[in-house]
Amino acid sequence: MSQSHRLETGGVLVDRTRQIKFLFDGKSYSGHPGDTLASALLANGVKLVNRSYKYHRPRGVVSSGPEEPNALVNLGNAGTHEPNIRMTQIELHDGLDATSQNRFPSLEADVGVLNAAASRFYPAGFYYKTFIHPRHAWKYFWEPVIRRIAGLGKAPTHADSAQYEHTYAFCDVLIAGGGVAGLIAAKAAGEAGARVILAEQTERLGGRLLVDDDAEIDGKSARVWLEETIAALEAMDNVTIRLRTCCSAAYDHNYCLLYERSGDRGEAAQVRHRLWRVRTGRVIAATGMIERPIAFNYNDLPGVMLASAVRDYVKLWGVSPGEKTVVYTTNDDGYRTALALAEAGCTVRAILDSRREPDGPLVGAARALGLEIRPNTGIGKAKAKRNKLASIETVDFDNPEAPGTTIECDCVAMSNGWSPVVHLYSHSGGKAMWDEEAVMYRPDPANPPRGRDAEAMVHVAGGAHGALTTDAVVAQAAAVAAEVLAELGMGGTAAVPDVSATAETPTHPVWVTPSAGKAALGGKHFLDFQNDVTVADVALAAREGYESVEHAKRYTTLGMATDQGKLSNINGHAILGKTLGKTMAEVGTTTFRPPYTPISFGSIAGRETGNLFKPVRETALHGWHAARGGDWEPVGDWRRPYRYQQGSEDRDTSIHRECLRVRNTVGVLDASTLGKIIVKGPDAAKFLDMMYTNMMSTLKPGKCRYGLMNNENGFLMDDGVVVRLDEETFLCHTTSGGADNIHGWFEEWLQTEWFDLKVYTANVTEQFTQIAVAGPKARDLLNSLDSDIDFNALPFMSMAEGTLAGCPVRAFRISFTGELSFEFATPVSFGLALWEVLHAKAEELGGGTYGTEAQHILRAEKGFVVIGDETDGTVTAHDVGMGWAVSKKKEDFIGKRAMERSDLTRPDRKQLVGLMTEDPTEVLPDGAHGVEGGKAIGHVTSTYFSPTLKRSIAMALINGGQGRFGEVIEVSTAKNKTARAVICDPVFYDKKGERQDV
């Protein structure tokens, strides 16, 4: 199709020498570089671009920017698919493939349009009302129906193939918006030597000055001034200008997010979107204004647009949105659209003005061109043919029931005045106030968003502050820049440009245009185009008692669509006020929340996807385990080998083989993840006496002691073997994954409570590869290696330092399996060498590796607790039968006072016991409840099939369990199913501990 609506001339942004082919709904069109998808489709005469969310009404492009409510499309395919993108922000590029949303089977013949006929069934609060009664109707009727007919774009089904980035940035002044106000502020700040970032959401600087160029600045034409100013800024090293970059949010303490869409133009960009995390001295929000639509009957038809958008299409892109346009305005600015259309050779059928006596230079210019102006007149009704605007009927504000004139037209340009974009001012608590004279919400200077030192962190410049004309914008922006620079101690006196601008007379807003007959109820006077909210909906909400603006918003969904009510909020609040008989100031406004426009999930994730989603901690032996069938158990961020698979054997086969290997020959285990903390100083022993329930000060150098750690609630939080290296130095082992916490815990007490103690700590977890050698043949294995340590003489719970097979080691004679066992710590760089030797020797002796699950079974057979399995943050040392590890001699330790609380000394607390099922093959489910008389009396904490004992074993916390050995209880195993198990001593194997102490 040819570009039927491309004007002969005009269009400062498009390059007419080049054509771009693109697809919309599978059909090929052409446009030019510089077009947006919206301008290119309009150039091709495509007006119907979407179906509305609720009623499936035909919709067209309304705006030319980020405020667009209607023209949302699905973009791309498979790995590039993205729904709900505003056409007005999509830069046209080769290969662009867009499809319309929310229609079936096609835009022209959408079956969901039946919804519109049934629209009286979807009043305000429809969702709330259907939630309430009858309940089953929601599940069986409404939900399936709504899921089919309502909705925006389709969710992607493929992984996103694009790249996204984050970056941190720092500046003195962050300027949001590259229009006149932003440029004035940037130049002043740049000249003062401030570090400046200027973020502009479109691909161009200049804002409305590119279209509304009727002002002179410093005696130059707007265009010349703009070119000179941009050149000056680009020459400044301290000024960073980012186009296609929206300041999405202004958070606490001057932290802002910039959303940069640098790679959205088709080429294989290295970075599609970049999220900037900016900390700035001050924010200057030069975010301009958004024009307001006017509510009238069928104001949602394709062809009804904002007046400013109509002239944007004419002047920026050389596109005529219509051949015959009616301008409906409440202010002078709307006349600029009529003038632009006339200048471009388009027909202006009439200018309808809400004011009784429109006057001023712009009105005069329209009159001079002979354009028809009808004062005190609006659009009573718009009419469609083939899903597009075909004509309008005028209405006399003084006599709405009188028949109006029908004017044929294919475009309405509406203007109801302008609303400052105060979002950034509001994001962190700044307030907006209603200015009755200017008819707008503007930033309330008495209630700015405040930063860390209570300074006003966001300052507002230009249109966003309420300045309507270029001279006012320039003067106000210069003043704000000077104020900000003075606050930052960078004050200078920048020259304020001299501006001569066209004068404008006041607006007379129309919140709803009166209609005759049934239409007077406002059922098809749309406020929120994206969520299909009408004047009647808001009025109904008010009548039903939703008087607060926040309630009315949620009840009607006004302003809750992806456009966040950029076009609809003010008009909606006015209707609410009108219905309630309140002023705008009394109605108030809803809170603006970030982001300003939707940002991509990809930009939020940045690089941290796939293998970079979350760090995995690897021990020195990780690759070795992986190459030998290790499958992984996550322990904190660590990965530990759960078991080593041989061939295609199942998990139990591997695990049972590994258990028996340790019981019968010798096994080696990678224990590197155990935390290791050095505690040193003259007060180290005294300090550890406070940290552990046991007495550590009596430990002799070279000896090991198993220690328990409480929190101040008296509950167990960690355990591990403490080794005294010398008089002043201890090595504290913690659980895997507990190292950082416990190191932090030690430091917390040393720094914040007992800062008089002379103790230093160091977390040396990562320094060592730790290897356990366990089993009856452990000593044989070690004796076959070159070492200066006498393994025959090293007593149980002792430590020796020396070398083993050429590696420097600390050897600990400790056991977590119940077998004869040694652990070796060697510097990580030696880890693999030592492991390979130990493993090879183990294999020679008929042994080999064992994984974490075998370790868990072996310790359960011995009744050893695992913090986090047998404990859950509410379990004491006494509960798990380890009262022996709680010192009675120490005056104080962490948790001692808490353990004296009556609830912690109750005899009927849950206590650790063993459970043996009557059926020895039945393994209880982990976490299963013991039940008695229909009540839970405790739960299973660890449960396994013991290969050593050839039967199932379990550990459990059972009410008063330590006094109930021999009793049989029921354990719930599934719905309505129980197993019988006998309560027993949790030590199932080698009760006297003879095997580990040989």
Which H or E run includes 336?
A: helix 333-343
> How many whole angstroms separate alpha carbon 547 and alpha carbon 581?
11
Q: How many CB atoms lie within 10 A of CB 703?
A: 14
Residues 183-212 that bind other proteins (CB under 8 A): 195
CA angle 769, 774, 775 (to 5 degrees): 165
- CA torsion angle 162 166 169 174 (round to 10): 60
Question: What minimum distance in Å lies between the beta carbon of 668 and other proteins?
Answer: 17
Q: Is residue 593 part of the contact set for other proteins (CB under 8 A)?
A: no
Cβ pair 825, 769 in contact under 8 A: yes
Cis peptide before 105 (omega within 30 of 0): yes
Question: What minimum distance in Å lies between the beta carbon of 756 and other proteins?
Answer: 9
In the complex with other proteins, the residue whose CB is nearer, 220 or 450, is 450
Q: Which of 241, 310, 242 is nearest to 271 (CA)?
A: 242
Tell me which of 166, 367, 686, 703 binds other proteins, using CB under 8 A: 166
In the complex with other proteins, the residue whose CB is nearer, 79 or 744, is 744
Tell me which of 50, 229, 761, 849 binds other proteins, using CB under 8 A: 761
3-state percent helix, strand, coil for the chain, nearest multiple of 5: 25, 30, 45
Tell me which of 203, 372, 544, 618 binds other proteins, using CB under 8 A: 618
Question: What minimum distance in Å lies between the beta carbon of 233 and other proteins?
Answer: 14
Tell me which of 157, 751, 792, 976 binds other proteins, using CB under 8 A: 751
Tell me which of 128, 131, 170, 965 binds other proteins, using CB under 8 A: 170
Q: Is residue 450 part of the contact set for other proteins (CB under 8 A)?
A: yes
Question: What minimum distance in Å lies between the beta carbon of 767 and other proteins?
Answer: 4
Q: Is residue 429 part of the contact set for other proteins (CB under 8 A)?
A: yes
Q: Is residue 995 part of the contact set for other proteins (CB under 8 A)?
A: no
In the complex with other proteins, the residue whose CB is nearer, 753 or 918, is 753
Instruction: List the structure tokens of 107.
Output: 């835009």
Helix, strand, or coil (residue 341) = helix
> How many whole angstroms separate alpha carbon 705 and alpha carbon 380?
90
In the complex with other proteins, the residue whose CB is nearer, 94 or 608, is 608
In the complex with other proteins, the residue whose CB is nearer, 79 or 993, is 79
> In b/e form, how buried is each residue of 503-523, taking b as 16+ CB within 10 angstroms?
ebeebbbbbbbbbbeebbebb
Tell me which of 612, 840, 936, 968 binds other proteins, using CB under 8 A: 612
**Phi and psi torsions of 385, nearest 5°:** -135, 130
Question: What minimum distance in Å lies between the beta carbon of 459 and other proteins?
Answer: 18
Residues 705-744 that bind other proteins (CB under 8 A): 712-713, 744
Question: What minimum distance in Å lies between the beta carbon of 757 and other proteins?
Answer: 10
The beta strand positions in 458-572, using DSSP E, are 458-460, 499-500, 526-528, 533-534
Q: Of the ranges 486-494, 581-589, 752-760, 920-928, which one interacts with other proteins (CB under 8 A)?
A: 752-760
Tell me which of 29, 53, 638, 730 binds other proteins, using CB under 8 A: 638
Q: Is residue 357 part of the contact set for other proteins (CB under 8 A)?
A: no
Q: Is residue 614 part of the contact set for other proteins (CB under 8 A)?
A: yes
Burial of 636 by CB count in 10 Å (0-12 exposed, 13-18 middle, 19+ buried)? middle
Tell me which of 143, 228, 234, 252 binds other proteins, using CB under 8 A: 252
In the complex with other proteins, the residue whose CB is nearer, 362 or 807, is 807
The beta strand positions in 436-593, using DSSP E, are 440-443, 458-460, 499-500, 526-528, 533-534
CA angle 881, 886, 892 (to 5 degrees): 150
Question: What's the length of the chain?
Answer: 998
Helices 549-556 & 535-543 angle (0-180, nearest 10) = 120
> How many whole angstroms separate alpha carbon 644 and alpha carbon 625?
8
Tell me which of 896, 929, 939, 995 binds other proteins, using CB under 8 A: 896
Tell me which of 453, 650, 903, 994 binds other proteins, using CB under 8 A: 453
The gap from C-alpha 767 to its chain's centroid, in whole angstroms, comes to: 36
Site size for other proteins (CB under 8 A): 85
> How many whole angstroms separate alpha carbon 14 and alpha carbon 92?
10
Residues 268-327 that bind other proteins (CB under 8 A): 269-271, 274, 276-277, 279
Burial of 33 by CB count in 10 Å (0-12 exposed, 13-18 middle, 19+ buried)? middle
Residues 914-973 that bind other proteins (CB under 8 A): none
Q: Which of 332, 374, 383, 319 is nearest to 352 (CA)?
A: 374
In the complex with other proteins, the residue whose CB is nearer, 752 or 976, is 752
**Phi and psi torsions of 602, nearest 5°:** -55, -40
> In b/e form, how buried is each residue of 776-811, taking b as 16+ CB within 10 angstroms?
bbbbbbbeebebebebeebeebbbbeebbbebebbb
Tell me which of 159, 454, 627, 793 binds other proteins, using CB under 8 A: 454
> How many whole angstroms separate alpha carbon 396 and alpha carbon 379?
9
Q: Is residue 605 part of the contact set for other proteins (CB under 8 A)?
A: no
Q: Of the ranges 25-33, 166-174, 177-185, 392-400, which one interacts with other proteins (CB under 8 A)?
A: 166-174
The CA-atom distances, in angstroms, between 996 and each of 118, 669, 794, 847, 865 are: 80, 16, 13, 17, 17
In the complex with other proteins, the residue whose CB is nearer, 17 or 611, is 611
Q: Of the ranges 175-183, 522-530, 618-626, 662-670, which one interacts with other proteins (CB under 8 A)?
A: 618-626
Q: Is residue 547 part of the contact set for other proteins (CB under 8 A)?
A: no
Residues 777-836 that bind other proteins (CB under 8 A): 786-788, 802-804, 806-808, 827-830, 832-834
The gap from C-alpha 173 to its chain's centroid, in whole angstroms, comes to: 26
Tell me which of 123, 681, 868, 960 binds other proteins, using CB under 8 A: 681
In the complex with other proteins, the residue whose CB is nearer, 361 or 827, is 827
Q: Is residue 237 part of the contact set for other proteins (CB under 8 A)?
A: no
The gap from C-alpha 977 to its chain's centroid, in whole angstroms, comes to: 43
Q: Is residue 434 part of the contact set for other proteins (CB under 8 A)?
A: no
Question: What minimum distance in Å lies between the beta carbon of 482 and other proteins?
Answer: 24
The CA-atom distances, in angstroms, between 267 and each of 95, 272, 859 are: 9, 10, 59
In the complex with other proteins, the residue whose CB is nearer, 449 or 565, is 449
Q: Is residue 63 part of the contact set for other proteins (CB under 8 A)?
A: no
In the complex with other proteins, the residue whose CB is nearer, 175 or 309, is 175
Q: Of the ranges 369-377, 519-527, 759-767, 970-978, which one interacts with other proteins (CB under 8 A)?
A: 759-767
Tell me which of 433, 560, 764, 982 binds other proteins, using CB under 8 A: 764
In the complex with other proteins, the residue whose CB is nearer, 512 or 677, is 677
Q: Is residue 619 part of the contact set for other proteins (CB under 8 A)?
A: yes
Question: What minimum distance in Å lies between the beta carbon of 755 and other proteins?
Answer: 4
